[in-house]
Structure 1
Amino acid sequence: MTARRKKGQQQRREEFTIERLDDEGIGLVEQGGKTVRVVGALPGEKILAEIEYEGRHTIGARMVKRLTNARERSRRQNCSKAEQCQGCPLISMDYAAQLHFKHEKVARALATYPQLTEINVNTVLEAPRQLGYRSSAKLAIGKERGKVMIGLYRRNTHQVIDIGDCPLHHPLINEVVAVVREEIERQGVFVYRPDKDHGLLRYLVVRVSPLRNEAMVTFVTRERCDREVIHLAKWLVKKVPNVVSVHQNINTGSGNVIWGNQTLRMMGHPSLLDQVGELKLRIGPNAFFQVNHDQAERIYQLAREWAGLSKEEEAVDLYCGIGGIALNLARDARMVTGVEVVQEAVRNAADNARLNDLGNCRFLAGDAAQILEDLALTSRPAVVSVNPPRKGCEPEVLRAVASLAPRTLIYVSCNPETLARDLALLAEQGYRCNEIQPVDMFPQTPHVESVARLEHSPKK
């Protein structure tokens, strides 16, 4: 049971000295058998904090004042909304310290498994841009005291924190958000209330092509509402001509899942034309794509280098999305097969192969384990690459990968814990991880991307 401060109840303040950060970048200190959690506080700092809630094992506190500063504290002007929205808990930390934090996060995950302790974890590949790097944003729409709020939900609540000009977003995203907020207020469009499961506008999703400086915008609504969305779309395109595509996604569910099953094009192009390095990519409104173009290009290059394919060899790319890694591998291989469960992404990937004049690719939609079983009957790929979601790969997928017996396996991960778990399982299947390259895909946040290289090493 968690006790929150009641309205009118006197606020309790205490001084704490922060001991460490958790894996989410939250400052922690142990007190009276409970863990106190403070966003924005760094190890070694003495702070004055206000208690917001107290549970059986944890205490949530809001920093009121820093009494001492950690050596790692950044001298840069921080975002004024950081402690409220909690989308970038490391923004107060010096960048070199952020990279060290992420390296240790990967190393700690591997240390859980004795068979993985000898893996070489390289220095984190730092991002050329630590601000303004995000090319996409999924933002909740809310209302408070008559004012439209567009941003992120406050942790464990339905309250939307209006983020204003987010320093992590591409400037075009911030421009779109400002115009949409203004027009929702002007039109008086009903905003969705999750506590009542009532209202219309739920989320605003913006994706930007940094090279072309163009945007695709999707309004996620509780029900189909062409008139309201078309009006918003026309106003948006008039005010921000760089918006070249507008969609409506209909989500009738009452949970916190963003996307519904139906997406309708309202104005402009059906997809966004983007480019990463030499690769041209068309991205649909529902398709997954990396948010940091600089680092995505480096991951593609690294995967291609580590694969070391020749024109006589084949490769398979699992969880291929719109084809970024697969198309890069295809530049060296005889044939590359991409596998993805999302139909729209598979269509995008096939379009992207044609767009880049790569005829040695094919893309299959469906369950990865089943498709791999079928491929095992006719194909012996030299390389398999996987880029799963945060939950990692299902055990049956990893066993199916091992049954193909590729010489090299490239694993791109956004979650060190599931990466370590899967590497341990692959070790049982005869695949030894030689090297992990962490990549700072998300500066100012605790998240870290990793690329692992595994070689087939059968048991003697």
Structure 2
Amino acid sequence: MAQFYSAKRRVTTRQIITVTVNDLDPFGQGVARHNGKALFINGLLPTESAEIQITEDKKQYARGQVKRRLNDSPERVAPRCPHFGVCGGCQQQHASVALQQRSKQAALARLMKHDVDEVIAAEPWGYRRRARLSLSYQPKSQQLQMGFRKANAADIIDIVQCPVLVPALEALLPAVRECLSGLKARQHLGHVELVLADNGPLMVLRHTAALPATDREKLEQFSHSHQLALYLAPQSEVLERVSGEDAPWYSADGLRLTFSPRDFIQVNDGVNQKMVATAIDWLDIQPDDRVLDLFCGMGNFTLPLARRAASVVGVEGVPALVEKAQQNAARNGLHNVTFFHENLEEDVTRQAWAKNGFDKILLDPARAGASGVMQHVVKLAPRRVVYVSCNPATLARDSEALLAAGYQIQRMAMLDMFPHTGHLESIVLFEHK
């Protein structure tokens, strides 16, 4: 078959070149320079040299694959997980925790054009209190695969251990696998989710066909023998509690917040506790303050703020979370906080609850950021704004509105919410001068 030249095609060379890495990006890739542009190489750390092959050559950057590493960085460590390098969950277990934190801190500082004052961290291992494991029955081998997706692929990696999971959940993995493998309907299982609440573990099983009575009985017996609450999900939006008397809950600032197994909660409890305390400290809440919490969820920040301020308003775009937040306020005896369901892309300053303005505002948006909200935050003219971010790119974009309105960055911290991964979270204090 004839082949024709295409200007869009960049033919990669099979030539082996030797490079030295001088930086680590937030995703755990070594960064070198070649032909005047950045060259990203998985698996290499700063100060390490290697013979590599170019696998992708773009106008602004290139990617390479290690053929032979010539030396080891003093900050290279042995990965704790036997699945590292294949599983897509962690990208940086080969780097010391100190190096991971420094590289993320430096990346945040570059993006925000401001020094990072501190790193807020907790335990780097055994920190995840939530895990969602894919399930796939293989007819040929008659085996049920249970695990996480392979890096850059849809294949499932069978997980036998996961050292970033809290020990109580990691210890459940073999028993969960054995139980699910013995079900008659194992070919109709979608995924299993494990969550550790403060009042014990819970399991959510997604299944795509009705479970036989014997399977339900086996699952219920399993939940009792392992003292976990069991929920079945026959459809994406349906959740049936099979066992477990009390709703799951976790503590924040000494308060008890109940949640549904499907609700978003911060998976790193240690960092969440410090993050909430930092937000309260940086906002400098006074007894006569009126505070607004945007993207409030079920009250992770709102309720601790209400313990210190005169009044707090929480605004959230998901109705179920607003209802949960109201219930949590009532359970904790907080009567100076009100929650509203609003479309945060619209002008919330026109709502009746915003007429008297706010002294302080906290934002904790999803990865998409809060671009539609920033002009309204500026219009409300608070003295201080704390922005909690899970995406540095949208944080930098949204910050422009505050900086243009006369706010200045007073403090900034990198939140090490997901050690050994490429996730970069942060918290920033803006103050109007």
TM-score bracket relative to the smaller structure: 0.7 to 0.9
Aligned position for 1:271: 247
Aligned position for 1:437: 413
- Which residue among 32, 35, 43 is the counterpart of 1:40? 43
The offset of 1:228, in angstroms, is: 7.8
Equivalent-residue separation in structure 2 for 1:142 and 1:279 (angstroms): 39
More divergent stretch after superposition (275-284 vs 22-31): 22-31
Question: 1:85-106: CA deviations, max 9, x gaps?
Answer: 1322121111221111111110
Question: 1:46-100: CA deviations, max 9, x gaps?
Answer: 4577x8x955646574x687542112212x5532211011322121111221111
Label 1:34 to 1:396 Cα distance change in 2 as closer, same or farther (>3 A). Answer: closer
Equivalent-residue separation in structure 1 for 2:243 and 2:101 (angstroms): 42
> 1:438·1:450 contact (CA, 8 Å) conserved in 2?
yes
Spell out the pairing of 1:295-444 with structure 2 (5 A cutoff).
Answer: 295-370=271-346, 371-375=348-352, 378-393=355-370, 395-444=371-420
Label 1:377 to 1:125 Cα distance change in 2 as closer, same or farther (>3 A). Answer: closer
Instruction: Tell me how many residue pairs correspond in the alignment.
Output: 416
Label 1:373 to 1:181 Cα distance change in 2 as closer, same or farther (>3 A). Answer: farther
- Which residue among 199, 212, 216 is the counterpart of 1:230? 216
The offset of 1:33, in angstroms, is: 9.9
The offset of 1:179, in angstroms, is: 2.0
Equivalent-residue separation in structure 2 for 1:436 and 1:449 (angstroms): 11
Aligned position for 2:84: 82
> 1:219·1:229 contact (CA, 8 Å) conserved in 2?
no
Equivalent-residue separation in structure 1 for 2:50 and 2:135 (angstroms): 33
Amino acid at match of 2:173: V
Aligned position for 1:256: none
Equivalent-residue separation in structure 2 for 1:60 and 1:150 (angstroms): 31
> 1:349·1:363 contact (CA, 8 Å) conserved in 2?
yes
- Are positions 1:177 and 2:173 aligned together? yes
Tell me, which stretches of 5 or more residues in structure 1 are unaligned? 4-11, 111-116, 192-199, 252-259
The offset of 1:147, in angstroms, is: 2.9
Label 1:263 to 1:342 Cα distance change in 2 as closer, same or farther (>3 A). Answer: farther
Amino acid at match of 1:218: V
Equivalent-residue separation in structure 2 for 1:167 and 1:227 (angstroms): 35
Amino acid at match of 1:389: A
> 2:118·2:412 contact (CA, 8 Å) conserved in 1?
no
Aligned position for 2:3: none
Label 1:124 to 1:151 Cα distance change in 2 as closer, same or farther (>3 A). Answer: same
Q: Secondary structure at the match of 1:133?
A: coil
Equivalent-residue separation in structure 1 for 2:217 and 2:67 (angstroms): 43
Equivalent-residue separation in structure 2 for 1:375 and 1:442 (angstroms): 39
Q: Secondary structure at the match of 2:82?
A: coil
Aligned position for 2:135: 141
Equivalent-residue separation in structure 1 for 2:217 and 2:406 (angstroms): 58
Spell out the pairing of 1:107-256 with structure 2 (5 A cutoff).
Answer: 107-110=109-112, 117=113, 119-127=114-122, 129-143=123-137, 145-191=141-187, 200-209=188-197, 211-212=198-199, 214-222=200-208, 225=211, 227=213, 230-231=216-217, 233-241=219-227, 243=228, 245-250=229-234
Normalised by the length of structure 2, the TM-score is 0.85
Q: Secondary structure at the match of 1:328?
A: helix
> 1:399·1:429 contact (CA, 8 Å) conserved in 2?
no
Label 1:276 to 1:232 Cα distance change in 2 as closer, same or farther (>3 A). Answer: farther
Equivalent-residue separation in structure 2 for 1:202 and 1:33 (angstroms): 47
Q: Secondary structure at the match of 1:324?
A: coil
Normalised by the length of structure 1, the TM-score is 0.81
- Are positions 1:105 and 2:107 aligned together? yes
Aligned position for 1:455: 431
Equivalent-residue separation in structure 2 for 1:60 and 1:2 (angstroms): 17
The offset of 1:232, in angstroms, is: 5.6
The offset of 1:449, in angstroms, is: 2.1
Q: Secondary structure at the match of 2:99?
A: helix
Q: Secondary structure at the match of 2:26?
A: coil
Equivalent-residue separation in structure 1 for 2:16 and 2:83 (angstroms): 22
Amino acid at match of 2:407: Y
Identity %: 27
Spell out the pairing of 1:15-54 with structure 2 (5 A cutoff).
Answer: 17=19, 19=21, 20-28=23-31, 38-47=41-50, 54=55
Amino acid at match of 2:244: G
Question: 1:214-257: CA deviations, max 9, x gaps?
Answer: 1122123345658587346314313411x1x2223355xxxxxx
> 1:386·1:411 contact (CA, 8 Å) conserved in 2?
yes
Equivalent-residue separation in structure 1 for 2:35 and 2:334 (angstroms): 62
The offset of 1:156, in angstroms, is: 3.3
Q: Secondary structure at the match of 2:372?
A: helix
Equivalent-residue separation in structure 1 for 2:106 and 2:384 (angstroms): 26
Alignment RMSD = 3.1
Q: Secondary structure at the match of 2:243?
A: strand
Amino acid at match of 1:450: S
Q: Secondary structure at the match of 2:324?
A: helix
The offset of 1:143, in angstroms, is: 4.2
> 1:383·1:406 contact (CA, 8 Å) conserved in 2?
yes
Label 1:148 to 1:410 Cα distance change in 2 as closer, same or farther (>3 A). Answer: same
Spell out the pairing of 1:257-296 with structure 2 (5 A cutoff).
Answer: 260-269=236-245, 271-296=247-272
Amino acid at match of 1:374: Q
> 2:26·2:424 contact (CA, 8 Å) conserved in 1?
no
> 2:185·2:212 contact (CA, 8 Å) conserved in 1?
no
Amino acid at match of 2:196: V
The offset of 1:268, in angstroms, is: 2.0
Equivalent-residue separation in structure 1 for 2:207 and 2:17 (angstroms): 44
Label 1:139 to 1:28 Cα distance change in 2 as closer, same or farther (>3 A). Answer: farther
Q: Secondary structure at the match of 2:261?
A: coil
> 1:34·1:56 contact (CA, 8 Å) conserved in 2?
no
Label 1:311 to 1:33 Cα distance change in 2 as closer, same or farther (>3 A). Answer: closer
Aligned position for 2:5: none
Equivalent-residue separation in structure 2 for 1:223 and 1:32 (angstroms): 56
Label 1:369 to 1:155 Cα distance change in 2 as closer, same or farther (>3 A). Answer: same
Amino acid at match of 1:87: G
